[in-house]
Amino acid sequence: IRQEMNKKVDLNGQFLIIDSFPVPVCQPIRNYRAKIFRGYANIGYKATKKIYFYGFKVHAIVSDDGYILDYVVTKASVHDARETVELIENTHPSNYYLLGDEGYLGKELHQQLKQMGYELWTPYRKNMTGAKKHNDHQLM
């Protein structure tokens, strides 16, 4: 249904945003004792909060207007970059610029997307060479 809706929606923006967010199913203190969703969910790490959680992770690709083009629900331990290509292949966006966070850094992913005709922009980590200039918010 979503793929058919995507064909009918007129996306005027230049960019697509790709990101993920955690869906914890219990408090962190119960991570190793949780019985709910055993075999489906697992333990992941939320770097921004520096906390482990038990549950799932939703990976989504969204237009700059806020329209959700596609999403995938995975185990919590699945890395953000792992689902990127699948999300793009499912949506076939005409926008060729993707914005992602530091979770999408990596030469292999950038090269793979470039071969598909997409440009991925991610901020550099603070300790990377040229990070201060690359991450300058006035340039964005």
- How far is the C-alpha of 45 from the C-alpha of 52, rounded, in Å? 4
Do 65 and 13 form a contact (C-beta atoms < 8 A)?
A: yes
Length of the chain: 140
pLDDT tens-place string over residues 19-49: 999 999 999 999 999 999 999 999 999 988 8
- Beta strands 15-24; 42-46: pairing state: unpaired
Q: Residue 98: beta bridge partners?
A: 16, 120
The pTM of this model reads: 0.82
Tokens of 137: 């918010």
pLDDT tens-place string over residues 77-101: 999 889 988 888 887 766 678 888 8
Identify the structural domains of the chain with CATH numbers, from first to last: 2-134 (3.30.420)
